[in-house]
Amino acid sequence: MADVHLPMPTVRPAVGGLAKLAPEPVRYLLNWGRKYSLWVFNFGLACCAIEFIAASMGRHDFIRLGVIPFAPGPRQADLMVVSGTVTDKMAPAIKRLYEQMPEPKYVISFGSCSNSGGPYWDSYCVTKGVDQIIPVDVYVPGCPPRPEALLQGILKLQEKIAGEDVTTRYEPSAQALTRGLVQPAVTPGPVEPR
């Protein structure tokens, strides 16, 4: 029997000429799901925390916006709301809890104390804004801000999430993959005589 050589079929993209538009519905769907399922990790430090609690109660009810209050811990949260005066002693704890949150994670700075130090900006022990230690996505001004201001901040954050590009958001970097890992111990070499 003789070998028959058939020409190889050309592979065409399944979507055709619209292949470059295929990621758009996926991006929309992922962003829509993330923007309406924000689990909040509240970091209430002072009087602004009372206004945060008022925003989660029946009158303002930010659950209708897709925000679930009071995640059990930082590992289950998407959104950290820092409300109140951030002192230098509290700053490492905020940074540690932020690093424990899984990606994607967002931060709302709620109130003038967490934005810039507020009326205590000149104190020796007050951090001049939570953005000195962690990245902040939305700032909500006021002393203390009203619960409606927090609702507006959540809407601004949801607009930001809706416009995110999935490919750049989830592109892994070498630093992100090795962040937080324990570095191997350096073994000392042979001791040279003196």
Q: What pLDDT was estimated at residue 16? A: 43
User: Please, are residues 126 and 117 in contact by the beta-carbon 8 Å criterion?
Assistant: yes
Task: Show the DSSP H helices in the chain as ranges.
Answer: 23-35, 48-56, 91-100, 112-116, 147-162, 166-169, 174-178
Average pLDDT, the chain: 75
pLDDT given for residue 33 in this prediction: 74
Would you give the DSSP letter of residue 87? B
Reduced to 3 states (helix: H, G, I; strand: E, B; else coil), residue 86 is coil
Residue 29 identity: L
pLDDT confidence of residue 13: 42
Q: Which residue has the higher pLDDT, 37 or 140?
A: 140
Q: Are 116 and 140 in contact (CB under 8 A)?
A: no
Q: How confident is the model at residue 158 (pLDDT cuts 50, 70, 90)?
A: confident
Q: Does 125 belong to an annotated binding site?
A: no
pLDDT value of position 163: 80
In this predicted structure, what is the pLDDT of residue 183?
59
Q: How far apart (Å, rounded) are the C-alpha atoms in residues 110 and 55?
A: 12
- Distance, in Å, from the CA atom of 153 to the CA atom of 17, rounded to the nearest integer, reads 40
- Give the tens place of pLDDT for each residue, 113-125: 888 888 887 888 8
Mean pLDDT, residues 23-32: 71
The percent of residues above 90 in pLDDT, for the chain, comes to 2
Residue 32: pLDDT band with limits 50, 70, 90: confident
Q: What pLDDT is recorded for position 169?
A: 57
Top-confidence residue, 79 or 66: 79
Which domains occur in the chain, in start order?
41-164 (3.40.50.12280)
Annotated binding-site residue? 48: yes
- Give the pLDDT of residue 5: 58
Q: CB 142: neighbour CB atoms within 10 A?
A: 15
What is the per-residue pLDDT across 68-84, written as a single tens digit (0 to 9) for each?
A: 777 778 888 888 888 88
Cα–Cα separations (whole angstroms), residue 9 to 6, 12, 135, 180: 9, 9, 51, 49
Specify the pLDDT at position 57.
76
When pLDDT is cut at 50, 70 and 90, the band that residue 101 belongs to is confident
Nearest Cα to Cα of residue 147 among 120, 108, 107, 115: 108
23-45 mean pLDDT: 75
